[in-house]
Chains A and B, each alone.
Chain A
Amino acid sequence: MGQLNIKKQPKQYDVVIVGSGAGGGMASYVLSKAGLKVCLIEAGPMYDPAKNVTQLKGPWESPRRGASTKFRPFGDFDACYHGWEIEGEPYTHAPGTQWDWWRARMLGGRTNHWGRISLRFGPKDFKRRSIDGLGDDWPIGYEDVKPFYDKVDKMIGVFGTNEGLENDPDGFFLPPPKPRLHEILIKNGATKAGVKVIPARLSILTKPLPDNKDRKGCFFCSQCSRGCQVYADFSSSSVLVKPAIATGNTDVIANAMAREVLTNKEGLATGVSYINKDDLQEYQVQGKVVILAASACESSRLMLNSKSQRHPNGISNSSNVVGKYLHDSTGAGMGGYIPGLFGRKRYNEDGVGGMHVYSPWWLDNKKLDFPRGYHIEYGGGMGMPGYGIGMGTEKMNGKYAVNGKKKEAGGYGASLKEDIRYFYGAGVGMAGRGEAMALESNYCEIDPGVVDKYGIPVLRFNVKYSSYEINQAKHMKETFREIMHEMGAVITWGDDATAENDYGLETPGKIIHEAGTARMGNDPKKSALNKWSQAHDCKNLFVVDGAQFVSQADKNITWTILALSMRASEYIIDELKKNNI
C-alpha cells in the first residue's frame, strides 16, 4: 500500500446518515424534503428494483433454479445482496453462545429482504414492565408514536383491516387481498383451535396510492422478495431514498463502509469517517448532525469503535449500555401437507408477496409460563416451482393413494410424473414470531483481537435464550400441531421439538429482527438515547434503527423503525431551527 491519506469531502452537510434501510431512508426522505442537505452513506452498491431485476423470471432462468447461495441465502432471485456471511467481514461469538447476523449490503439495506409485514406496536408493547414487572418501559407510549404510524401508513401504504384489537391498533389500511384456498382452510382450522386469524398487514399497494405517481399498484406476482419493478411494495431504496435524491438535497455515497463517528473537543459529532470499498481510500464527511441507521448491531459497533477523550468508552456510552439488551424475534415453525388438496385444480393463486392472513397474539400471558406473546405467519399453496420441488417424493407416494391408486414408495417413470403433479400445491406451513426478553446479559461487544479486512474491529456476540423464550417456542409448537390437526393436515416437518433442542426455537439472530443495542430511556445511566432517539452524551448524534428499541414486541419492527425515524427527523428539523443542535 502506498501512502495513506485521509480525504475530506469539501461539502459541509447539515446531516450525515449512516445506512439507507428503513431508518436511514426515512430520515433522508424527511430531512431532504425539509430542505436540509443530507449525505447518506451506504456500505453496499446502488440498487433500484426497476433496473436490478430478478422479478418475473422463471425458475429455468437461474442455472441453480432459484436455490440459495452464500451471496443470496434466501434464494438466487432474492433481491438482497449478502446475508449471513460476507467475505472479509467476520464476526465472532463468546464460547457457548449463538447469534446469526444478517447483513444486507446495498441501497435500501434490509428492506430489500423483509416480508413487508407492517405491524404497529400496541399500547401495551411500550409499557411491558408496568404490566409484568420484567424488562423496562419505553420512555414514550403509543400515543407518542401513533401520529407517525398514521403518517407512515398514508405515505408508504399498507393493506389490512381495522379489527378494533386492543394491542394491535387500527390504522389507515388499503384493502387486503382475499385469502387463498389454503388460507381459508387454515383460518377454519385455527378458529377451531381457538386461534384468531385476520387479514395480514403488509406494505404492498393493493391499490395505487392517491398522491403518488412514482409507484403503481400491485400486479400480484407474489415476488416482493425479489424487489418490485413498479415499486408496488415498500423498500427503502425505491420509496424513500429515490425521492430523497430527487429533491436535490440528498447525496448518496455508495460502497462506503463507515469507520467512526468523528467528534470535536467538546465531544460533539462533526461527521463520519469511512473507507471507500472501490478505491480503498479513507474519507471524512462533515455534518452538523450525525444519524446512525446501520442496523442495531452495526450502529452499536460504530458507536463502540468511536472512542475519543470525551467518549473513552465509545461515543455516547457513559451508561455502558451500548451493545447490551440485544434481542431478536423468536421463531419456530411447522408444516406439511393438506391431503384434501391433492390433485387440486390449477389456477393462478400467486397473490401478493406473502401471506394474506395472519394471527396476532391472542392469549393472556398471565396464565402462561412465558411473559410475552407471538404472532403466527402462514404459507403454502401453488407457488412457483423452484429448486427442491419434487424432492423426497419417495416419502409421500407410498403413503397416499395417487388418483385412487395405492403405490409402492419411490419408483420412476410416467407413474412418478403423475405423483409429482398430484402432490403439487398441497403444502402448508406456519411460523411463530415472538417477543424475546431484552436482557442486559445478552450483548455484542468489540472483539479485542479481530478486525475486518478494512481494519475495523468486529463484533463479538454473547447471546443466550432463557426459559421464557424456550417455553414460548414449546407453546408455539403445541399450537401449530393443533391447527394442523384441526385443518386435516399431515405434519412432515417441525414436529421434532423436545427439551433437548429447545423445542425447535431458532438460533437468536436468525429471524433478522435485531434490536435493543442503544436503547432509549429517561435515565442517562441506563440508556444511550433519550426519547427523541438522541444520544444522551452527544446532542447532535441520533440513532434511528432498531438499536433504539427498549423491547420489540411480538411485531415485526420495520413499521416502528419508520415511525420513530420520522419522529426523530422532525425533531431534528425543529431543534436545528431553534439552534439547539
Chain B
Amino acid sequence: MDRRKSIKALIMGTVSTSVLLEACKDSNTKIAVKPEAVNTAGLNYDRTPEELADYKKLMTDKFFTDDELATISILADIIIPKDEVSGNASEAAVPAFIEFIVKDMPYHQTPMRGGLRWLDLQCMKRYDKGFKDCSQQQQIEMVDLIAYPEKAKGKPELTQGVVFFNKMRDLTVTGFYTTQMGVKDLGYLGNTPNQWNGVPDDVLKQYKVAYTEKELKECVSFT
C-alpha cells in the first residue's frame, strides 16, 4: 500500500489492522492478525457499553468558550510551534485535545479557566487588551514572564501565572507528542509487529556494554 494512502486511511480509521500490518511489514515476518470488530461512536478500539455512553456524553458537552479556545490555540502554538522536524500544536489538533481532556479530567477545569482569565486580566493591565487581541510581541512578552519558573521566583504578582503556564505547557506537550505527528517527531519506532533481536551492535558499542555469552546462548534470536 502507498504510504501516504495508508496513513490517510489510518487517520480516517477506515482500514483494518491486518491491512496495515501488511503495509508496514518491514521484515520477512508474517503475522496474520484478524481484523477487529467495528466499533461505534467513531472509536476504533474495544469499548464497553458504559465507556461508549460516557464518551458520547463527553462529546456532547462543551466546556471552553470560543474565546477561551482561541486563547488556548495561540498559547499552544507558542509552546509547540512548527520547526524543521514537525508542525505546530494546531496542526495536530491539540486545542481539541485540551477541550476533551478537561471534560474527561474535571480537576483541570478550574485551573485552566481561572488561569486563562488571570492571563487576560494581566494583559488588560499591561496592554489594555485581552491576551488574544494583543500583538504577537506583547503576547510573547507576557508569556516570557510566566514561562520560566526559576526567573519568576520572588515575584508574587506572577506565581499564579507560572502555575497556569506549567499546566498549559503540560497539556500542550502531552497532547502534541501523542498524535501521529508528535510520535513521529519523537522517533518512537514501535507499535508494530517485529522480532526483538536485542540492542543494535552500534548502540552496545556506544554505551560500552555487551551481552554475556550466557545471554547470547540462552536468549531467543532471529535471523
Contacts and interface: CB of A to CB of B under 8 A. Distances in A.
A229 B35 CA distance: 9
A180 B192 contact: no
Given A180-B199, A219-B195, 15 more contacts: A53-B45, A56-B33, A58-B180, A63-B97, A63-B104, A199-B219, A216-B32, A347-B199, A349-B199, A351-B196, A383-B190, A390-B170, A408-B150, A416-B80, A421-B186
Contact of B46 (A54, A58, A87): A54
A345 to B, nearest CB: 6
Contact of A184 (B104, B105, B162, B209): B209
9 contacts: A56-B191, A59-B179, A59-B183, A199-B218, A382-B190, A383-B190, A384-B183, A387-B101, A412-B79
B2 interface: no
A222 to B, nearest CB: 7
A181 interface: yes
A427 interface: no
Interface in A21-48: 45
Interface stretch (B47-55, B115-123, B127-135): B47-55
A208 to B, nearest CB: 11
Given A411-B148, A421-B186, A176 B173 contact: no
Nearest to B36: A53
A178 B80 contact: no
Contact of B101 (A64, A174, A223): A64
Interface in A498-539: none
Nearest to B48: A81
Interface of B: 10, 13, 17, 21, 29, 31-34, 36-37, 43-46, 48, 50-51, 54-55, 58, 78-81, 83, 85-86, 97, 100-101, 104-105, 143, 147-151, 162, 165-166, 169-170, 173-180, 182-183, 185-200, 202-204, 206-207, 209, 211, 215, 218-221
B166 to A, nearest CB: 6
Interface residues of A, number: 85
B193 A219 contact: yes
A69 B104 contact: yes
A105 B93 CA distance: 35
Nearest to A64: B104
B57 to A, nearest CB: 13
Given A71-B50, A220-B195, A421 B148 contact: no
B43 to A, nearest CB: 8
A143 B22 CA distance: 48
A345 B29 CA distance: 24
Interface stretch (A96-104, A300-308, A363-371, A391-399): A391-399
Contacts of B221: 178
A188 B204 CA distance: 13
A390 B174 CA distance: 6
Contact of A56 (B17, B148, B207): B17
A67 interface: yes
B149 A394 contact: yes
B207 A178 contact: no
A83 interface: no
